[in-house]
């Protein structure tokens, strides 16, 4: 589904007939292959199939190596941003060299459109593209606050695409290019989710046929809600234990086996791993929660003999792993947050619970153990929904339209306008900050004077 708010969306199609073939894709990020990197690789592959000649410029060697296998030209080198969160923050010499590189690449390769795959490269691409009068499309995989949008020069983009409405919501506010944005959901390749050689995860976690095995795939960071998930498993286990205590002696007499358990396989790495492992140990869940680290063949995990997929982020912009799990026909338990609830409906194709609510999550997990067939119905509905609405082919058809429209419209605003706009906005932001500091200082001084009297 595409939601385009653009003053030129309804122009005659003849204006979009200009052939676009040379697109420069630019990506700045960590040296890994995760959500935005995977989406970019799939998009480049789709672009090739449609007759485009993509060029990739990035700072990730892993991404560069994967892209080279597609047979495209790849330039991989370190990148910097000025005055942003990434360190080092003030390498002006390197920043100027990036501007020179951008200019040379665009001219040498005959680039007709620059596709900026995340926010950071926009800081130098906006300058280069305005100077060369080449259209710039900004593709956002995260939410950016006002400071981020200002520091990275989002006003220099000629068209902005977000992976969900939760990303583009800010562009309804006072933005200079607020009418030129669109929502294009990520596409998912089936080969990322389905494997003919599935992993035997039940054996890895020591699960019996009666146990419920849940899978999580993703980063081990705070906003992914893993601490909440682990606490919910502890609560479910505690409830189960209390319910069977009265029956324990009869089970022993009859030779019954141990009670079914809920087990969790966590796939991924991140800064929260040590703290999460300590939490597991303190709750006595070492035989129920397993950390499997990074795994390259995620399709083999989705296609494994686990029972359901669980991911409960406190915030999300799309939820690529959720969609992949659904393609593999795994029931999904997740959170009712913007981005996720654009894809899933509670009790229709997934179970959605409030973010951070341990009790609600524990109840949803218990519900699965009691009514797995009901959740299987959710999984079937989700699989159809994802396959029909979130294919890579469908995604690129929408990008193809955006590419042609953006090129037909051309680079909007001038280099002089953009520089002037950035300077005025930075000045206003600094003035507001100084004024706020002075106001706070005067208030504190007034309090001290009253106290002294």
- The DSSP secondary structure of 210-243, one letter per residue, reads TSEEEEEES---GGG-HHHHHHHHHHHHHHHHHH
Q: Where do the H-state alpha helices sit in 109-247?
A: 122-132, 146-151, 165-168, 201-204, 226-244
* pLDDT value of position 437: 79
22-187+394-415+422-433: CATH topology: Rossmann fold (3.40.50)
* Domains of the chain, residue spans: 22-187+394-415+422-433, 191-239+260-390
pLDDT tens, residue by residue, 354-411: 999 999 999 999 999 999 999 999 999 999 999 999 999 999 999 999 999 999 999 9
Which residue, 376, 317, 310, is CA-closest to 342? 317
Q: Which residues are CB-neighbours of 303 under 8 A, at least 6 positions away?
A: 193, 194, 195, 196, 198, 199, 328
Placement of tokens 């409960």 in the chain: 312
Same fold, 22-187+394-415+422-433 and 191-239+260-390: yes
- What's the pTM? 0.86
* pLDDT value of position 448: 58
Do residues 317 and 167 lie in contact, with contact meaning Cβ atoms separated by under 8 Å?
Answer: yes
The C-alpha atoms of residue 387 and residue 384 are separated, in whole angstroms, by 5
* pLDDT value of position 421: 93
* pLDDT value of position 390: 95
Placement of tokens 């980063």 in the chain: 219
- Averaged pLDDT for residues 122-144: 96
Write down the mean pLDDT value for the chain.
Answer: 89
Domain spanning 191-239+260-390, CATH architecture:
3-Layer(aba) Sandwich (3.40)
* pLDDT value of position 17: 43
Instruction: Name the percent of the chain lying above pLDDT 70.
Output: 88
Residue 431 reports pLDDT greater than 70: yes
Which residue, 95, 128, 101, is CA-closest to 114? 128
Lowest-pLDDT range of 5-9, 101-105, 130-134, 430-434: 5-9
**How confident is residue 450, by pLDDT bands cut at 50, 70 and 90?**
low
Q: Tell me how many degrees the CA angle 82-83-87 measures, rounded to the nearest 5.
A: 80
* pLDDT value of position 386: 97
Residue 218 reports pLDDT greater than 70: yes
**How confident is residue 9, by pLDDT bands cut at 50, 70 and 90?**
very low
pLDDT tens, residue by residue, 172-188: 665 666 668 899 999 99
């Amino acid at each position: 589904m595409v939601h385009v708010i653009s003053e030129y969306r309804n122009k005659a199609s003849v204006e979009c007939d200009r052939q676009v073939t040379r697109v420069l894709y630019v990506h700045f990020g960590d040296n890994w292959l995760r959500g935005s990197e995977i989406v970019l690789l799939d998009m480049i592959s789709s672009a090739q199939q449609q007759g485009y000649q993509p060029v990739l410029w990035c700072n990730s060697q892993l991404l560069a190596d994967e892209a080279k296998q597609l047979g495209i030209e790849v330039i991989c080198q370190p990148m910097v941003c000025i005055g942003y969160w990434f360190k080092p923050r003030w390498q002006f010499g390197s920043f100027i060299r990036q501007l020179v590189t951008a200019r040379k690449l665009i001219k040498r390769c005959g680039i007709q459109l620059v596709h900026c795959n995340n926010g950071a490269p926009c800081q130098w691409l906006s300058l280069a593209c305005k100077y060369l009068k080449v259209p710039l499309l900004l593709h956002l995989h995260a939410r950016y606050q006002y400071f981020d949008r200002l520091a990275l020069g989002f006003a220099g983009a000629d068209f902005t695409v977000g992976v969900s409405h939760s990303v583009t919501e800010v562009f309804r506010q006072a933005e200079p290019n607020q009418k030129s944005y669109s929502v294009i959901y990520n596409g998912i390749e089936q080969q990322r989710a389905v494997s003919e050689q599935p992993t035997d995860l039940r054996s890895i976690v020591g699960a019996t046929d009666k146990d419920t095995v849940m899978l999580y795939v993703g980063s081990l960071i705070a906003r992914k809600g893993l601490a909440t998930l682990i606490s919910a498993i502890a609560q479910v286990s505690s409830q189960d234990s209390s319910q069977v205590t009265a029956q324990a002696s009869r089970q022993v007499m009859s030779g019954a086996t141990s009670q079914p358990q809920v087990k969790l396989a966590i796939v991924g790495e991140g800064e929260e791993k040590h703290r999460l492992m300590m939490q597991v140990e303190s709750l006595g869940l070492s035989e129920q929660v397993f950390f499997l680290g990074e795994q390259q063949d995620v399709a083999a995990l989705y296609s494994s003999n686990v029972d359901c997929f669980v991911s409960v982020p406190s915030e999300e912009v799309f939820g690529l792993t959720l969609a992949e799990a659904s393609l593999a026909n795994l029931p999904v338990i997740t959170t009712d947050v913007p981005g996720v609830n654009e894809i899933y409906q509670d009790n229709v194709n997934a179970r959605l619970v409030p973010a951070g609510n341990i009790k609600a999550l524990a109840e949803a997990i218990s519900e699965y153990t009691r009514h797995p067939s009901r959740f299987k119905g959710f999984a079937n509905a989700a699989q159809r929904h994802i396959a029909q609405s979130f294919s890579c082919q469908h995604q690129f058809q929408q990008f193809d339209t955006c590419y042609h429209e953006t090129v037909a419209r051309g680079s909007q605003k001038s280099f002089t306008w953009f520089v002037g706009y950035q300077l005025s906005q930075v000045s206003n932001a600094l003035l507001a900050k100084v004024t706020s500091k002075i106001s706070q200082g005067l208030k504190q001084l007034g309090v001290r004077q009253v106290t002294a009297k």
